[in-house]
Structure 1
Amino acid sequence: MTIRVVVADDQDLVRAGFAMILDAQPDIEVVAEAGDGFAAVGLAREHAPDVVLLDIRMPGMDGIEAARVICAETASKVVMLTTFDHDDYLFDALRAGASGFLLKDVRRDDLVHAVRAVTSGDSLLAPSVTRTLIAAFTSGSAALPLQASRLAALTARETETLRLLGAGLSNAEIAAALVVSEHTVKTHVSNVLAKLALRDRVQAVIAAYETGLIHPGTRAH
């Protein structure tokens, strides 16, 4: 299967560089490039790509608003591009439905891995962005609207799956912890996402924190 990508960044060299790296992969095709959010939304509607790489700060419609529209209107996965790991728009982008963040100085191999990962249903955050996210939860500045009462919709096993997701475990690690197959874990994860109306694993991690299911520093056991 060929992964179809739209790259949106207002810096020509950055956009061209990312497109060149991705187009060089046998399983990835850059179907279009955009220099602002309006163009990115239009191209996402036109091409229905698997992944849209969106710069956070662009003229006209910024990446946050573009992500909100793309995630609401299409099935495309959105990965935000940022220059700074302390970007003020981190949480707004995650609320908008972004599947992850990459810093613009990302290594070639990590960029390619990111596109493949979100296409397969995984989510990602650059390590430094993850630290920013956890620090915000520690300080209480990332309060989000999901209430703990929403967890009542989950079965006991689904709640435990969410807790382990929040602790950063992979499907294989969750399977080992729960002594079940990876297929069963995938079913639990899918149920959690559906019942809590979450787009992907990034939002599941956030949900685990905002409902108080886990706290910064929690370790799986």
Structure 2
Amino acid sequence: MTTATPDGPPRRPLSVILCDDNVLLLETLREVLRAQPDLEVVGTASDGEAARQLAHRHQPDLVVLDVRFPGGGRSVALDIARCSPASRIVVFSAYDDKGTVEQMTSAGVCEYLVKGVSNRDLLAALRRAAGPR
């Protein structure tokens, strides 16, 4: 699928992997992103190993990553940055303490969102993380 642009050729949607151990949240995020013509969910992961494998296989534009899920967190962010260096990592977490934010930022995360933000804010952060196209 491609997205029409008013001033140029069509663009492919941004590929996204969603990583969280909350199945309901994963499905909700998938539905929110599915409604966006410029975003395409190419996989979901409920643990760190699955997140690493998906990132390696798909080389996504964006990875939405929970900080604390099985095998997750900083080590997954670092591994994804190594195996898929063009992927931009956006943390979507319930934890907003200064230490966790600093730890994830030092691992190369480009956006850090606390769960409970609006869909509009989440989508804006994803597009901001992807940068100009």
Q: TM-score range by the shorter chain?
A: 0.7 to 0.9
Is 1:64 matched with 2:74? yes
**Are 1:64 and 1:89, in contact at CA under 8 Å, matched by a contact in 2?**
no
The match for 1:96 is 107
Give the counterpart letter for 1:58 in structure 2. F
Whole-angstrom CA distance in 2 between matches of 1:100 and 1:49? 16
Local SS of the residue matching 1:89: helix
Q: CA deviation at 1:106?
A: 1.4
Structure index of larger Rg: 1
Corresponding pairs, count: 120
Counterparts in 2 of 1:115-134, with a 5 A limit?
115-120=126-131
**Are 2:17 and 2:63, in contact at CA under 8 Å, matched by a contact in 1?**
yes
Whole-angstrom CA distance in 2 between matches of 1:90 and 1:103? 10
Q: CA deviation at 1:72?
A: 2.0
Q: CA deviation at 1:84?
A: 2.8
**Are 1:81 and 1:101, in contact at CA under 8 Å, matched by a contact in 2?**
yes
Whole-angstrom CA distance in 1 between matches of 2:125 and 2:89? 11
**Are 1:77 and 1:119, in contact at CA under 8 Å, matched by a contact in 2?**
yes
Give the counterpart letter for 2:91 in structure 1. M
The match for 1:14 is 25
Q: Which structure has greater helix proportion?
A: 1
**Are 1:79 and 1:102, in contact at CA under 8 Å, matched by a contact in 2?**
yes
Q: Which structure has greater strand proportion?
A: 2
Higher relative contact order (CA 8 A, sep 6+): 2
Local SS of the residue matching 1:114: helix
Report Cα offsets for 1:60-119 as digits up to 9, x if no partner: x22211101111221100011111321642211111111110111110111111111111
Listed as ranges, the gaps of 5+ residues in structure 2 are 1-10
Is 1:30 matched with 2:41? yes
The match for 1:45 is 56
Percent same amino acid among aligned pairs? 36
The match for 1:77 is 88
Whole-angstrom CA distance in 2 between matches of 1:58 and 1:88? 17
TM-score, length-normalised on structure 1?
Answer: 0.52
Whole-angstrom CA distance in 2 between matches of 1:87 and 1:13? 27
